Amino acid sequence: MGETSETGLLAQVPDGLYIAGEWRAARSGRTFGVTDPSTGEVVKEIADAAVEDGVAALDAACEAFPSWSRTPARERAELLRDAYDLIQERAEDLALLMTIEMGKPLAESMAEVRYGGEFLRWFSEEAAHVQGRYGSNPEGTGRMIVTQHPVGPCYLVTPWNFPLAMATRKIAPALAAGCTAVVKPASQTPLTTTLFVRLLADAGLPAGVVNVITTTSSGPVSEAVISDPRLRKLSFTGSTEVGQKLLAQAAAGVLRTSMELGGNAPFVVFEDADLDKAVDGALAAKFRNIGEACTAANRFIVHASLAEEFARRVTDRVREFRTGRGTEEGVTIGPLIDERAVDKADELVQDALANGARLRVGGGRIDRRGTFYEATVLSDVAAGSRILREEVFGPVLAITRFTDEDEAVRLANDTEFGLVSYVYTRDLARGQRMVERLETGMMGLNVGVVSNPAAPFGGWKLSGLGREGGAEGIHEYLQTKYTLTPDPFA
Ligand code: NAD
């Protein structure tokens, strides 16, 4: 697609806040620019919400809640299903928009559109399956009735790295459960979410059920919404640091919370692994989304007998990568989201090198417009290097060695995070032992990518609370009521 069609597509994205079924300017009239990270140019100006806009969005969500929560589940499901179909129809536009504002290669944006769309289909199927229980109490003196109810108006906050999927993973279960929502996308990537919500409106979403506020004042706007006693639920995906702040704010209202936070995934390759598959899995686990994924493998922990061969093979493959604007043919690595992300990746690489790591390929910024960093492989990374503790969130693959299973487990678990781990082994019993010993909410056992709308996504330790997707996902938006009635025969 050429520049004209990009301009045409950008013109189709509403530039207002979506509140109570209307696209509105921010009350202050302020706007902010959304940047293409591959060029550094502003591609569109959109409304910059202030606190009063956030409160107006919550007003709308509260007003819409009684009627939406009583809408039959089947009707809610059909709306989600129609929205799924619209996403398929507009897949190319959504993918292009995502590449423009976030930077990932077009093929990966298309994969995210498919993945993100699946949450609508999955939760359209779950909506009508919410059930309760009815039974006698053990004493036989009464009947116990257990029912499920939507929690109420929700505040959904999403990050910039998966602009569509992180929104649908929250909006779809909220709507399926009968909740209404205020959605706040990341200020770096608000356009994909905005276009998606326009599609939801086209699918017939009643006014006020979903409201979107785009803002550069995330802190004050979020604090006002979270501290409002009418809000009943906060679902956040982003960094652990911001998540902890919002959790503290949510404590005052004892809000239900779902927190999908940072990761620091270990990728363990045992001496009995199928090396070809481990290398394929490693490249997917590391370089998908330019390394900017919470599930990205951050620490490659490889048995000493294989470490050299593994490093050589991944390096050969990384040399074949092509870096550039995500819309260009054959590009596999796009720009990082901003200058700060480039600085962070470079700092971690320089620190590892200063601690004795060996640079196999890459290792620096790319001297061109935009915020690009070279796809990098480091081996022999020393214990104590920052890259083993901090999420690199960029295209940097860092390898360390181990010699026995206990050491592998100790190294893999040596982090305060616990989102996902990856293990490659052909020994079934060893694989099962790792399932039991690694402290993560998810695991790829001989697989480099685990995300699936039908699976419960979420972390242990500082990686979060709650689960998104799977049979569990809708329960994050439901609350349980137990009712006792006397034995009808007494
Ligand atoms: P971030 O925490 O900076 O931002 C996340 C969201 O919070 C954005 O909408 C942002 O505008 C908002 N925000 C930022 N500061 C805020 C504040 N002071 N008060 C209220 N809101 C604020 O994270 P990010 O840089 O957008 O995303 C990257 C992080 O997200 C990584 O740590 C990554 O691991 C994590 N992540 C986790 C998952 C998961 O499912 N566990 C998925 C994707 C990303």
Residue 1 has pLDDT above 90, yes or no: no
Q: Is the CB of 184 under 6 A from ligand 1?
A: yes
Q: What's the confidence (pLDDT) of residue 393?
A: 97
Cα of 188 vs centre of ligand 1, distance in Å, is: 11
Q: Are 364 and 372 in contact (CB under 8 A)?
A: no
Q: How many CB atoms lie within 10 A of CB 317?
A: 16
Q: Is the CB of 391 under 6 A from ligand 1?
A: yes
Is 126 among the catalytic positions?
A: no
Q: Is the pTM of this model over 0.95?
A: yes
Cα within 13 Å of Cα(277), Cβ side: 17
| Mean pLDDT score, 16-27 | 98
* Ligand 1 atom 6, closest CA: 159
Give a three-class secondary structure readout of 185-210.
CCCCCHHHHHHHHHHHHHCCCCCCCE
Cα of 132 vs centre of ligand 1, distance in Å, is: 35
Give which of 173, 179, 181, 180 is closest to 119, Cα–Cα. 173
pLDDT-based confidence at residue 400 (cuts at 50, 70, 90): very high
Atom of ligand 1 nearest to the CA of 219: 19
Is 154 among the catalytic positions?
A: no
> What ranges do the domains of the chain cover?
3-261+464-481, 265-453
Q: What's the confidence (pLDDT) of residue 2?
A: 57
Q: Is the CB of 362 under 6 A from ligand 1?
A: no
Q: Are 215 and 193 in contact (CB under 8 A)?
A: no
| Mean pLDDT score, 266-277 | 98
Q: What's the confidence (pLDDT) of residue 81?
A: 98
| Mean pLDDT score, 236-258 | 98
Q: Is the CB of 464 under 6 A from ligand 1?
A: yes
| Mean pLDDT score, 244-258 | 98
Q: What's the confidence (pLDDT) of residue 131?
A: 94
Residue 381 has pLDDT above 60, yes or no: yes
**Rounded (10°) angle between helices 218-226 and 240-252:** 30
Give which of 299, 296, 284, 297 is closest to 410, Cα–Cα. 299
| Mean pLDDT score, 262-266 | 97
Q: Is the CB of 193 under 6 A from ligand 1?
A: no
Q: Are 49 and 17 in contact (CB under 8 A)?
A: yes
Cα of 216 vs centre of ligand 1, distance in Å, is: 13
pLDDT-based confidence at residue 197 (cuts at 50, 70, 90): very high
User: Active site residue: 126, 260, 374, 468, which one?
Assistant: 260
Q: What's the confidence (pLDDT) of residue 4?
A: 64
Percentage above 90 pLDDT, the chain:
99
- Taking the C-alpha atoms of residue 303 and residue 313, their distance in angstroms, rounded to an integer, is 15
- Taking the C-alpha atoms of residue 96 and residue 301, their distance in angstroms, rounded to an integer, is 36
Q: What's the confidence (pLDDT) of residue 27?
A: 96
- pLDDT, one tens digit per residue, over 297-311 is 999 999 999 999 999
- Cα-trace Rg, the chain: 23
Give which of 38, 104, 36, 100 is closest to 296, Cα–Cα. 104
142 beta partners: 486
Question: Which residues lie closer than 8 Å to 92 by C-beta, 6 or more apart?
Answer: 110
Cα of 242 vs centre of ligand 1, distance in Å, is: 7
Measured CA to CA in angstroms, residue 486 lies from 131, 135, 139, 146, 149 at distances of 22, 12, 11, 15, 23
Give me the architecture of the 265-453 domain, per CATH. Answer: 3-Layer(aba) Sandwich (3.40)
- pLDDT, one tens digit per residue, over 418-477 is 999 999 999 999 999 999 999 999 999 999 999 999 999 999 999 999 999 999 999 999
Residue 37 per-residue DSSP state: T
- pLDDT, one tens digit per residue, over 59-114 is 999 999 999 999 999 999 999 999 999 999 999 999 999 999 999 999 999 999 99
Give me the architecture of the 3-261+464-481 domain, per CATH. Answer: 3-Layer(aba) Sandwich (3.40)
Percentage above 70 pLDDT, the chain:
99
Q: Is the CB of 219 under 6 A from ligand 1?
A: yes
Q: What's the confidence (pLDDT) of residue 205?
A: 97
